[in-house]
């Protein structure tokens, strides 16, 4: 009798919930640079915990042009991110990674949203199936980044979302719209 060894080592791709920072996981404050400016939206901790418990990697994707404009430093951004992680840690929420574009819009870098570059880099780094993932944002650059990366775009009516929804008809891709982060849990399969 011959035993055949089956190869069961199929590559498993992860799902992610990509998240914009300002206006999505924290209240929108233009050019926020200090931890004491950070305020979590109501129900956001519980919502992100639900996504995390459903097997989604939580990854922040944020443009921080304030660095490129000289308003604050990357060290300031890191302090804010440390504080955000601590605040969400109270809900046992863990951000798997944070991707930051610190460039000035005039730098024409490759990473700044609406470019999908940060999503693509995150997908490579963490073996993510982008088509099975969502990107929650409040700005046109978030939606365009998601669409360009073949990720499912989600618009929140927080932050700049009220302004963004006025131009939703320009997109040919279906965009789910929610009033807040806590409602997005309806998308969890």
Q: Which residues pair with 58 in a beta bridge?
A: 17
What confidence tier does 168 reach under pLDDT thresholds 50, 70, 90?
Answer: very high
Share of the chain above pLDDT 70, in %: 94
Reported confidence tier of residue 189, pLDDT bands at 50, 70, 90: confident
Which amino acids are annotated catalytic? 20, 22
What confidence score (pLDDT) does residue 4 get? 43
Which pLDDT value is given to residue 10? Answer: 54
User: Can you say whether the dihedral through the CA atoms of 37, 86, 74, 158 is positive or negative?
Assistant: negative
β-partners of residue 177 are 155
Q: Over the stretch 64-123, which tens digit does the pLDDT of each residue have? A: 999 999 999 999 999 999 999 999 999 999 999 999 999 999 999 999 999 999 999 999
**Nearest 5°: CA angle at 145, between 140 and 149?**
150
- The CA distances from residue 102 to 43, 84, 111, in Å, are 29, 18, 9
Q: Which of 188, 167, 157 is nearest to 41 (CA)?
A: 157
What pLDDT does 6 receive? 43
Task: Examine residue 114 and say whether the peptide bond preceding it is cis (omega within 30 degrees of 0).
Answer: yes
DSSP 53: H
CATH of domain 15-136+148-187: 3.40.50.1000
């Amino acid at each position: 009798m011959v035993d055949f060894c089956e190869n069961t080592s199929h590559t498993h791709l992860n799902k992610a919930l990509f998240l914009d920072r300002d206006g999505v996981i924290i209240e929108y404050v233009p050019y926020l640079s200090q931890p004491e400016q950070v305020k979590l939206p109501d129900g956001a901790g519980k919502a992100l915990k639900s996504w995390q418990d459903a097997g989604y990697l939580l990854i922040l994707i944020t443009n921080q042009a304030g660095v490129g404009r000289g308003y604050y430093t990357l060290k300031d951004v890191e302090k804010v991110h440390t504080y955000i992680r601590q605040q969400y840690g109270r809900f046992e929420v863990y951000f798997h990674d944070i991707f930051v574009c610190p460039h000035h819009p005039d730098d024409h870098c490759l990473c700044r949203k609406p470019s999908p570059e940060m999503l693509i880099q995150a997908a490579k780094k963490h073996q993510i199936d982008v088509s099975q993932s969502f990107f929650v944002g409040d700005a046109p650059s978030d939606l365009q980044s998601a669409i360009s990366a073949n990720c499912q775009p989600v618009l929140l009516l927080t932050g700049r979302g009220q302004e963004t929804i006025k131009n939703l008809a320009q997109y040919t891709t279906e965009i789910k719209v929610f009033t807040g982060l806590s409602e997005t849990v309806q998308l969890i399969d």
